[in-house]
Each structure stands twice: as structure tokens, then as C-alpha cells.
Amino acid sequence: MAEDDSTTESPEKQNLDDHAFAALGLSHKVVRAVAKSGYENPTNIQSQAIPVVLEGRDVIGSSQTGTGKTAAFALPVISNLKAHGKLRCLVLEPTRELADQVTNAFRTYSKFTNLKTALIQGGVGYGRQIEMLNKGVDVVVATPGRLLDLHKQKNISFKDIEVVVLDEVDRMLDMGFLPDVKRIVKLTPRKRQTLFFSATIPSEIEYLAQWSLTNPFTVDVGQRRSAAETVNHCLYPVAREQKMELLLRLLNDMDYQSVLIFTERKLDAEVVARKLELNNHEAVTLHSDRSQRERKKALDGFKNGDFEILIATDVAGRGLDISGISHVVNYDVPRNAENYVHRIGRTGRANTEGDAITLFAADEMDQVKGIEGYIEQEIERVTIENFEYAFTTLLQKQEIARPVRRGRNRGYVPANTMPFNMKGRRR
Ligand code: AMP
């Protein structure tokens, strides 16, 4: 139930008028929800985008998740929609997990209004989704395939759409969704507001942006490579056959609360999970071979602390909004340099420091070079003490004795140092 929001003289109202989000022009009900969420100050993308979205302008933003992007579009959209009516806002997301998270964000930020948000995603039955649509909703957050199915079956109409949000467009491109996205946008009224977000803007996306946006305001908060700058991240050279052993040792040395481990392949995610379980670690996996129910159970279990370790592949792990991840471990070096930045960006969210570790075998040298080129930074190599390293060319003297530049600090540290103190932080 929405609470009564009408008392203008209450101390709470007074405080909300002074709230940093009120100054951006958001409605009182939205500011109240923001305050309730515990946000004190807008993030960079929020202070840039919110006033422009409130004005009704199109926006193109090159900011990735973890920067407060969802609130940057959801808060002004909710503020403009005001009260329950027709379906007026469509948000497209590349994955079910992201659609779920963004739906929750819309529901949280609109809790003091009577606006309704429906989640439309594949992998689950049609019944409840059709029921919700029939009851009437203001916002639909959807993955493209299921949304088109429902439209074909005439269960949803886009004729009153006023705002279209295309979120994580580069991910939609990776997943082959761009034709569906274009089809959906074509079905919405020409006169609409379009908000377009993509961590990177390759040429295919630039084309879609030009086609779908009108005189957009560009929000570029320079976050594309930010995780590489804000997160403590380092490489652990090791012989391939010792990766598991080193992982177990690192987990023992760390004082971790929640660890997100990435593997390139689904099968490896399962193998690593089984081995961790055999060594008394609570681990769950998240990848596309698992059913929607299993994925939700894994994610919820990880979020509420039932499992300390979540092992995910890139598709499943991208954009997950899980606060408090203390460490990210790349069991494999990602083949795609951009994925490296996305993976390590899962920690160090909301300006907290995070540690990201990459286990690195000799046959992954090309990937490492690719990543270092992409982030324009040499990543520190770290070995640990009292570990019986098997021979690998990576650990030959000239490799590890080479002084390396540490992030932005420009300090030179020998590679052969203990990476963690008892609190799990690098020294
Ligand atoms: P996003 O980039 O939308 O995935 O948001 C990342 C995380 O930051 C989410 O957990 C949000 O709840 C949180 N967040 C968003 N805006 C703020 C803010 N202004 N202050 C503090 N946390 C925020």
C-alpha cells in the first residue's frame, strides 16, 4: 500500500525538499522513495541525465551498470508518468536477470505512487504476464523475444508508449537481439522519448542510435574503462593444472563475504562448483543451461548469503546488481577484453573498493596482452608465498622479477609479494 504523502508541513517533507535529488526536479514521491533507498547524493550519470530526461529529451548514455544508470532513467520516467494510466513506458533489457533487477528498481522507486510495472521475460509461463497486462500497467520491463511474442498474440499494445528505454544495447547486439529491438521500436509511436544506454558504441549500435533517437543529449560519464581504474585487480600466473589448487588457497587466505567466480564455459562452472563443494565451500552456478527457476534460486541464495560463492559465465554474470561482492575471481582469462572490464566491475560497485583476481595460465598470454592493450594498463602479476608452484614459463625469473606498475599509483612493486593481508585486501 502506498503511504499517505499529502502532509506538506511535516518535518519529513521539509527534509525532502532539501534532499539532493529534489534539486534535480524529481517529484516529491520519487524523492521520498530515493531517500527511503538510502541514496544521499546523485551519481555522476544521475545528475547529468535526470534533468534532461525530465525535460522529455532523448538521451544517449555510454555508462555501464554499477554507476547508478538504472535510477538515472527510472527516476525521471516515474516522475513524469505521475499516476497510474495506460502503458506508457517500455524498457528493453538483454537478459532475464537484468529485466528482473530493473523491474524491482522501478517498483522500489515508484512505491509512493500508484504506478504499476510488469516484468515480461522468456523462460516462464505466459499466464501471469498476460494477467498483469490485462489488469493494466504503466511500465513494462522486458526481454525482446517474449515481448514480441505477446505483441503478435495481441496481448499488448504499444500505441500509447511515450518513453522507450533501450538498456545495455551492446549486450543486446552480442546476443543477436538488435533485429528484435528494431522491430519493437518500429511498433511504438514516432513521437516518443527514447533513452539509449550502451557501455560501448560500436558502429552497428551507432547506426541504431541514429535511427532511433532525435537530437539526443549525450551523457558520457567516462565509465567505459573505469572498473580497471577503480578496482584492485591483478593476475596470478599459474600452471593450468594448478588453477584449482591456487583458487582453494586464495579462498582460504581471503577474508571474503561473497565471491563471484567467472568461467568461460558452462561446463567449467559446474566442475569448479563441484570441486569447491568437495572442499567445504558453499557454491552455486549461474549459466544459460540452468532453468529460470534454478537461476533465480542461485541468485537469491547468493544475495541473501546462503551461498558464499557464485560461479557464472559472462552472459549470466553481466550486469548483475549484487551489492557487497567482496571479490571477483576470473578462473579463466576472458577472451574478450571488454568482458574483463565488465567482470571486474562486478566488485567495487557504488564506489566501494573491490578486489579482482585473474588466474592466468601460459596459454592465455594473448588474452592478457589484449586486455592490457584495451585498458591501456599493465596488470600487476602476483605470486603467493608458501605455495608449491609447478613449472610454467610464466614464472621464469624474467617474468616475475620484472617490476610492474601498480594501477595509477605508479609505485613499483615486486611481483613476488603476498597479495592479501588478513582482511583480504592487497597491501
Ligand atoms: P546500477 O548502475 O543502476 O546497476 O546501480 C548500481 C547500484 O548502485 C544499485 O545497487 C543501486 O541501488 C545503487 N545506487 C544507484 N544510485 C545510487 C545513489 N545515488 N547512491 C547510492 N547508491 C546508488
Q: How confident is the model at residue 287 (pLDDT cuts 50, 70, 90)?
A: confident
Same domain for 348 and 275, yes or no, is yes
Give dist(CA 220, CA 200) in Å, integer. Answer: 11
Task: Decide if 65 contacts 168 (C-beta within 8 A).
Answer: yes
**Per-residue model confidence (pLDDT) at position 418:** 36
Total number of domains in the chain: 2
Ligand 1 atom index nearest CA of 65: 2
pLDDT of 414 reads 35
Tell me whether residue 422 is in a domain: no
Does the pLDDT value for residue 244 go beyond 60? yes
Q: Do residues 186 and 311 both lie within one domain? A: no
Better pLDDT: 394 or 408 = 394
Within a domain: 427: no
69 lines ligand 1 (CB under 6 A): yes
pLDDT, residue 251, reads: 92
Q: Does the pLDDT value for residue 260 go beyond 60?
A: yes
Whether residues 79 and 179 share a domain: the answer is: yes
pLDDT exceeds cutoff 80 at 396: no
Q: Return d(Cα 17, Cα 31) in angstroms, integer.
A: 9
Task: Please name the residue whose Cα sits nearest to atom 19 of ligand 1.
Answer: 42
**212 with 283, same domain?**
no
Question: Do 101 and 70 meet the contact criterion of CB atoms below 8 Å apart?
Answer: yes
What's the pLDDT score for residue 346? 74
Say whether both 195 and 152 belong to one domain: yes
Q: Is the pLDDT of residue 426 over 60?
A: no
Residue 15 is assigned to a structural domain of this protein: yes
Least Cα distance to 257 among 322, 323, 325 occurs for 325
Same domain for 236 and 217: no
**Mapping DSSP to helix (H, G, I), strand (E, B) and coil, where does residue 61 land?**
strand
Tell me the mean pLDDT in the region 394-416. 42
The reported pLDDT for the residue numbered 337 is: 83
Whether 173 and 289 share a structural domain? no
214 in a domain, yes or no?
A: yes
Highest mean pLDDT pick, 60-74, 262-276, 345-359 = 262-276
- pLDDT, residue 92, reads 98
- The pLDDT value recorded for residue 397 is 47
Distance CA 93, CA 88 (A): 17
Q: Please choose from 349, 351, 352 the residue to mutate so as to test ligand 1's pocket, defined by most ligand atoms within 8 A of CB.
A: 349
What are the pLDDT digits (tens) for 132-160?
Answer: 999 999 999 999 999 999 999 999 999 99
Mean per-residue pLDDT, 111-128: 96
**Domain assignment present for 242:** yes
Mutate to test the pocket of ligand 1, among 75, 221, 321 (most ligand atoms within 8 A of CB): 321
Give the single-character DSSP code of 363: G
| Ligand 1 touching residue 223 (CB < 6 A) | no
Q: Whose CA is nearest to atom 21 of ligand 1?
A: 39
| Pair 213, 254 in one domain | no
What average pLDDT does range 398-423 have in this prediction?
Answer: 36
CA–CA separation, 162 and 191 (whole Å): 7
Beta-bridge partner residues of 89: 139, 163
Q: Which of 19, 39, 48 to mutate to test the pocket of ligand 1 (most atoms within 8 A of CB)?
A: 39
Residues 191 and 262 grouped into a single domain:
no
- Among 199, 221, 243, the domain boundary falls at 221
Q: Which domain holds residue 92?
A: 5-221
The alpha carbon of 242 and the centre of ligand 1 are apart by a number of angstroms equal to 38
CA distance 317 to 141: 19
Pair (324, 276) in one structural domain: yes
43 pocket-lining for ligand 1 (C-beta < 6 Å): yes
Q: Are residues 12 and 93 in the same domain?
A: yes
Position 68 pLDDT exceeds 80 = yes
Q: Assess whether 165 and 238 both reside in one domain.
A: no
pLDDT for 166:
97
Atom 6 in ligand 1: residue holding the nearest Cα: 66
Q: Are 78 and 109 in contact (CB under 8 A)?
A: yes
Summarised one tens digit per residue, pLDDT across range 188-231 is 999 999 999 988 787 888 899 999 999 999 987 654 445 666 67
Q: Which of 221, 244, 279 is the last residue of a domain?
A: 221
Q: 346: CA distance to ligand 1 center in Å? A: 13
DSSP for residue 68: S
Q: Is residue 426 part of a domain?
A: no
**Which one of 164, 194, 221 terminates a domain?**
221
In a domain, 399, yes or no: yes
Higher pLDDT, 396 or 395: 395
CA-based nearest residue to 27, from 77, 68, 63, 94: 77
Q: If you average pLDDT over residues 388-399, what whole number do you get?
A: 74
Looking at residue 9, its pLDDT comes to 45
* CA 319 to ligand 1: nearest atom: 4
Distance (angstroms) between ligand 1 centre and the Cα of 43 equals 8
Check residue 154 and give its pLDDT. 96
pLDDT at 1: 39
Domain-located, residue 373: yes
CATH number at residue 253: 3.40.50.300
